[in-house]
Amino acid sequence: MYKRKRIVIALGGNALGDTLSEQMTAVKTTAKALCDLIEEGHQIVVVHGNGPQVGMINNAMSALSREDQNQPNTPLSVCVAMSQAYIGYDLQNALREELRKRGFMRTPVVTVVTQVRVDPEDLAFENPSKPIGHFLTKEEADHQAQAYGHIMKEDAGRGYRRVVASPKPVEIVEQDAINSLVDANKIVICCGGGGIPVVLNNDHLKGASAVIDKDFASCLLAKELDADMLIILTAVEKVAIHFGKENETWLDDLSVQEARQHIENGEFAAGSMLPKVQAAVDFASSAPGRTAMITLLEKARDGIHGKTGTTIHM
User: Which residues are catalytic, by number?
Assistant: 13-14, 130, 214, 276
SS3 137: coil
Find residue 48's DSSP bridge partners: 11
For residues 71, 81, 12, 130, the Cα torsion angle rounded to the nearest 10 degrees is 50
Q: Mapping DSSP to helix (H, G, I), strand (E, B) and coil, where does residue 133 land?
A: strand
Q: What are phi and psi of 312, to 5 degrees?
A: -115, 130
Number of H helices, E strands in the chain: 9, 17
Which are the contacts of 238, defined by CB distance < 8 A and separation ≥ 6?
Answer: 250, 251, 252, 294, 295, 308, 309, 310
CA 58, 129, 124: angle at the middle one, nearest 5? 105
Using alpha carbons, select from 100, 88, 98, 89 the residue that is nearest to residue 32.
98
Strands 160-164 and 130-136: antiparallel
Residue 160 CA to chain centroid, in angstroms? 25
Contact 151, 129 (CB under 8 A): no
Q: Give the DSSP H or E segment for 153.
A: strand 152-154
Calculate helix-pair angle for 76-101, 51-67, nearest 10 degrees: 130
Helix axes 273-284, 256-264, angle to 10 degrees: 150
